[in-house]
A and B are shown apart, each in its own frame.
Chain A
């Protein structure tokens, strides 16, 4: 009578005596960096570039602005925190999906615009989506071009909103007297952004970095720069 309670030994996929490689094949390939792979273009490209959606970058590369001195180094690149864009992204998305509910509306009002020929409907809907796309675009570039820069020589604040308002303000680092930040509200605390106030000497306007990400970090960096300036020039 066969013993049914004794299980047969399982066959293992790998032989037990076979030595296991310490580094996988992929890892060994990743470590190989032949000189032929590194071409001149890679060497010329910036090491720490600012991307399309970057809101905070320390020691960025590849940025150039008007009147930049040859020996001037950009320490900080700041935009408004990306979370501040949620409102227009949400509203724009609502505008995109709104026409999808039009058939429900037409059920109750079969012909809402009786004076309008049917062939106009295509053009009106195409124009509507063009306006919505432009709304997205204008809001995006209002965020994209609203930039603050901290260099080793000065602080620059570029305000740009809704295509019609453009303001570029700059102050030298030795005129910066104090820097502080305000982070008010649960959302700002949660997403770690706030307003940074750069106070300047005399009658010069103060600079405000609105909704800047990592405000505490920014304050520390600017304070360090002010301290270094004071040490160097008394």
Chain B
């Protein structure tokens, strides 16, 4: 009982830290989705102005990493 009294506040703190981190990461993923939509919209307005496939690949990689980080944090933390 004494041990639980000591550990419980830390566990709750960990939980809130985890939720906070996941929430921030989630909003960041939403931001990246907005970015990817804007990139595709701009590419529809003007194309051939450089290497647009590299631009799209870069944002896709960023989104993939953000989602991976979110899922890993969800499981591990």
- A residues touching B (Cβ–Cβ < 8 Å)? 46, 49-54, 62-66, 77, 115-117, 119-120, 123-124, 126-127, 130-131, 133-134, 137-138, 141, 144-145, 147, 149, 158, 160, 163, 166, 168
On whether the beta carbons of A127 and B38 are closer than 8 Å, the reply is: no
- Complex CA gap A127/B48 in Å reads 33
Name the one of A63, A130, A158 contacting B28, with C-beta atoms under 8 angstroms: A130
B2 near A: Cβ within 8 Å? no
On whether the beta carbons of A77 and B49 are closer than 8 Å, the reply is: yes
- B residues touching A (Cβ–Cβ < 8 Å)? 13-14, 17, 21, 24-25, 28, 31-32, 34-35, 38-39, 41-42, 44-51, 54-55, 58-59, 62, 65-66, 69, 72-73, 76-77
Could you list some 20 contacts between A and B, CB below 8 A?
A: A46-B48, A50-B48, A51-B51, A66-B44, A117-B17, A127-B21, A127-B28, A127-B69, A130-B65, A134-B35, A138-B35, A141-B35, A144-B49, A144-B55, A145-B42, A149-B46, A158-B45, A163-B38, A166-B42, A168-B45
On whether the beta carbons of B39 and A141 are closer than 8 Å, the reply is: yes
On whether the beta carbons of A133 and B62 are closer than 8 Å, the reply is: yes
Known: A65-B45, A119-B76, A123-B21. A54 touches B34 (CB 8 A): no
On whether the beta carbons of B34 and A127 are closer than 8 Å, the reply is: no
Name the one of B17, B51, B55, B77 contacting A141, with C-beta atoms under 8 angstroms: B55
On whether the beta carbons of B32 and A66 are closer than 8 Å, the reply is: no
6 new A-B pairs (CB below 8 Å) besides A63-B49, A115-B13, A149-B46?
Answer: A51-B51, A65-B47, A120-B77, A134-B62, A145-B49, A166-B42
On whether the beta carbons of B49 and A127 are closer than 8 Å, the reply is: no
Q: Smallest CB–CB gap between A56 and chain B, Å?
A: 12
Contacts of B32 in A (CB 8 A): 134
Q: Smallest CB–CB gap between B29 and chain A, Å?
A: 10
Instruction: Closest A residue to B49 by CB, please name it.
Output: A50
- Complex CA gap A117/B13 in Å reads 10
Known: A50-B50, A66-B45, A166-B42. A120 touches B59 (CB 8 A): no
